[in-house]
Chains A and B, each alone.
Chain A
């Protein structure tokens, strides 16, 4: 089983729709959780951190369920500019060391 699992997609969604991604992680000792966005041929950039209480940033909502070990990202009123690959990133702790582990990424295309 992969340490961080995501549905690779692709998700092709009409503009204005709501889209949700899920991600599961295997290490229950994981400390921090993030969603990154990666545009074609660019480096990953932080979209938002994910907190147990859930957090919202404009059209984006992220949630963490520690009991079930999954993270979600919801995008409302999707825009063409939301087209990108969304990476689930978990900061795992093993033997006292931390390591950022990436999911495969979910490719999203917003269709006009």
Chain B
């Protein structure tokens, strides 16, 4: 079946540190891949996406590259800020079949000044 595995949190970093949140997936065919962010007390909003192999999604200094060979979509940011503290969700939607969006369990990031 289709599934997404994210690294367990919480992750605590100092401001300006480098961030990596690992995400690997299992899916039939070539799914579209997404990272969502949820700030405290809010809903989910799309952070970035990639729809085919080797695509790089980027937004607000975050990047993730669709790696078909390793079935991964790791989220990275070179220098985190306190305002990046949030929960990050990796997700996929399969390109075939009537199957729904699949989320990882989420990774909570806390950035301290």
Chains A and B bind each other: no
